Amino acid sequence: MSVTTIASAPPGPSATGVDEGRRQPSRWDRLRVRLMGDQGWFPYLLVLPLALVLWGYVVQPMLATFAESGRGEGVENYLAFLRGSGVARSALLTSLGISAASVVLCGVVGVSMAFLLRRFSFPGRRLIEAVILVPAALPPLIGAISFQLLYSETGIVPRGLQRLFGTESPVLAFDGIAGVLLVHTFTMYPFFYLAASAAITGLDPSLEEAAYNLGASRMRVWRTVLLPMLTPALVSASLLVFMTSLASYTAPLMFGVDRTMTMQIYINRTNGNLPMASTYASVLGVVSLLFLLGMRWYEGRRSYRTVSKGTSHRREVRSRLGRWLALAGSLVCTVVLLAPVATIALVAFSVNGSWTVQVLPTEYTVQNFVEIFTEPRSLRPILNSLQMSLLATVGCVVVGVLTAYAVRRLQFFGRGLLDLAVMLAWALPGTVVAINLIAGFSTGNAFSFGQVLIGTFWILPLAYFVRFLPLVFRSSSAALAQVDPSLEEAARNLGAGWWRAFGSITVRLMLPGVLAGALLAFVHSVGEFVASVLIYTSRTVPISVAINNRMYSFDIGTAAAYGMLQIVLIFVVMLISGRLQDGGRVAREGAQWAN
């Protein structure tokens, strides 16, 4: 090889950006980046009012409840939970026991339904799918009443069976804890059904095919592939059902189970023992908070949901007998699922006081509805509820949308806390929210502008706001996730200021989701009973409390008529939500009432 020499090399460009002139970021730079990110002080201007609202109406009242629980007997109240005998301990254990049993029952029903409907094809499948969420769509009070009318000792089914078999006493009557579990199973299995359905649909069929391809048997595939993949969904659903059962108040009320945490809060409050009620509320609040944190921790871990390219296959039920059995089973199932609504509808047309020992009401009339709309005294609760719910919904939308935006899109110090505060409002049982508001606003403070709110018109809208803010927050968050952040950046790049870009692009694109969330918050507010019954004033009786009062005075027809109006409102709203873009998911969520 010859050696060549180049006389002169062309001047090479030198690399830039090498160490000279490089400045290390100072501590102040780092702090500025950490606190201000790329949006300057702006996020703090937006977040500060939101943080104050959440602090003032969610966190501060909870702390006030703690303080209240320490008055009077003080630590003694808490020690009651540890003593062997006594109401406190047995209430706590009963509540936990009911919750655990509810998880098992809902899990069995929900997961079997999900597998049946997602993995098999049989006559009547679509029928069940159409009505599967109906029982859970009832407001808690109406749901509990309908189950009482159907399955309690004086209910339609046990009496019907008694008549049929000619026995001495009603057959298959549910009461006490069994009744509570019945209500829980019917109204909470959707948590499992929806989670398992989503997980099953989300499973990549090729994973299962891969297992078969490698020689696994059907049982082995179930044990080693399908069930492990479903675990995250099942754990989340279990936590949700446990929390919701713990918070359940109407079912124990209707089936007369006094020794639960929620009932004890109610009983102590009505007996005027606020410190003891606060103690119960604190314990229940802390347990709920722990569950919330547990749930977030668990969901933060990896979930197995995979992107499915193929479509999951259903197994067709082929045998003639099988198809007939499936059809018959589906019809029974559909009747059972629709029975609560049908009962309310039927009873709404019965004459008050006419239904005593018969299986079904004997005399029918439209008078109940006429009375509600013509008598000012009966119409008042409806107007009250609509007015208070509207106010609460406006608050939920303003705070919910801005909080969702702040949490999802802005960088600021304390973002996690803001998120947690909203979810705390979601995790707290209605009874606890009510006690918190009583403790927080029995005297004036800065957040009530020095006014006492208890006993005024404002306390119920505030309770609805606190309870249903998370609904708007979550639907806004979900809607926001669909909006590409670069759209807002494009608007900013074209010269729009923050408010203009936010209004003309982001909010405009979030609108369907926000609207669906707002409708949801509205119907929940109209149906709200759990907190209302603890803090309503005689001048602002909401529908749910009116229903409860009517039930007590045996105006069952009128109570059911109120209930029917609520049910109609709910189905109209779910229909509208379903029509809204992205509303389907929100409509499904609407089926999950906090009891």
Partner 1 sequence: MVGVTLESVSKSFGAGAPVVDSVDLSIDPGEFFTLLGPSGCGKTTTLRMIAGFYYPTTGRIRFGTEDVTRRPPNKRDTGMVFQNYALFPHMTVAQNVGYGLKVRKVGRAEARRRIEEALEQVHLAGYGSRRIDQLSGGQQQRVALARALVIRPRTLLLDEPLSNLDAKLREETRAEIRRIQREAGITSIYVTHDQAEAMAMSDRIAVMESGRVQQVGTPQEIYYRPATVFVARFIGRSNVLSMPVVSAGPTSVEVQLPGAGTATVAAPADHGLRASDAALVSLRPEHVALASPDDPDAVVGRVTNVEFVGMATNLTVDVAGQPIMVSAVEVPGRPTIGDRVGLRMPVARMWVVKP
Count of residues touching partner 1 (by CB under 8 A): 45
73 vs 582 by CB, closer to partner 1:
582
The yes or no reply on residue 11 touching partner 1 (CB under 8 A) is: yes
Question: What is the nearest approach in angstroms of partner 1 to the Cβ of residue 478?
Answer: 17
200 vs 501 by CB, closer to partner 1:
501
How is residue 447 annotated by DSSP? G
Chosen residue from 231, 270, 306, 493 binding partner 1 by CB under 8 A? 493
Chosen residue from 71, 119, 163, 500 binding partner 1 by CB under 8 A? 500
Chosen residue from 2, 85, 311, 319 binding partner 1 by CB under 8 A? 2
The helix/strand/coil state of 350 is strand
Which two tokens mark 30?
């780092």
Question: What is the nearest approach in angstroms of partner 1 to the Cβ of residue 485?
Answer: 9
Question: What is the nearest approach in angstroms of partner 1 to the Cβ of residue 481?
Answer: 15
How is residue 538 annotated by DSSP? G
Chosen residue from 45, 494, 538, 552 binding partner 1 by CB under 8 A? 494
The yes or no reply on residue 22 touching partner 1 (CB under 8 A) is: yes
Question: What is the nearest approach in angstroms of partner 1 to the Cβ of residue 417?
Answer: 18
Chosen residue from 14, 85, 311, 356 binding partner 1 by CB under 8 A? 14
Closest CA to 188 of 253, 143, 126: 143
How is residue 259 annotated by DSSP? -
* Alpha carbon distance 458, 176 (integer Å): 36
At residue 263's C-alpha, the angle toward residues 260 and 267, to 5°, is 130
176 vs 497 by CB, closer to partner 1:
497
Amino acid letter at 4?
A: T
5 vs 319 by CB, closer to partner 1:
5
44 vs 78 by CB, closer to partner 1:
44
Closest CA to 343 of 354, 366, 356, 359: 359
284 vs 580 by CB, closer to partner 1:
580
The yes or no reply on residue 9 touching partner 1 (CB under 8 A) is: yes
Residue with tokens 């706590």, as numbered in its chain: 92
Q: DSSP of 88-149, one letter per residue?
A: HHHHHHHHHHHHHHHHHHHHHHHHHHHHHHHHEE-TTHHHHHHHTTHHHHS-HHHHHHHHHH
Question: What is the nearest approach in angstroms of partner 1 to the Cβ of residue 378?
Answer: 44
Question: What is the nearest approach in angstroms of partner 1 to the Cβ of residue 292?
Answer: 26
Pair 186, 340: CB distance under 8 Å: yes
Gyration radius of the chain over CA positions: 28
Helix axes 274-300, 60-69, angle to 10 degrees: 130
The yes or no reply on residue 17 touching partner 1 (CB under 8 A) is: yes
36 vs 331 by CB, closer to partner 1:
36
Which two tokens mark 413?
């110090």
Chosen residue from 101, 487, 565, 576 binding partner 1 by CB under 8 A? 487
Phi, psi of 120 (to 5 degrees): -125, 155
The helix/strand/coil state of 53 is helix
Residues with Cβ within 8 Å of 22's Cβ and at least 6 positions away in sequence, in order, are: none
The yes or no reply on residue 311 touching partner 1 (CB under 8 A) is: no
Span from 120-128, 436-444, 497-505, 515-523 in contact with partner 1 (CB under 8 A): 497-505
Task: Find the binding residues for partner 1 in span 502-541 (CB under 8 A).
Answer: 505, 508-509
Closest CA to 470 of 540, 408, 419, 430: 419
Task: Find the binding residues for partner 1 in span 30-69 (CB under 8 A).
Answer: 30, 33-34, 38, 40
* Alpha carbon distance 49, 168 (integer Å): 65
Q: Give the burial string for 501-513 (b: 16+ CB within 10 Å, else e).
A: bbeebbbebbebb
Phi, psi of 174 (to 5 degrees): -100, 135
29 vs 363 by CB, closer to partner 1:
29
The yes or no reply on residue 437 touching partner 1 (CB under 8 A) is: no
**Interface residues toward partner 1, by CB under 8 A:** 1-6, 8-17, 19, 21-23, 25, 29-30, 33-34, 38, 40, 484, 486-487, 489-498, 500-501, 505, 508-509
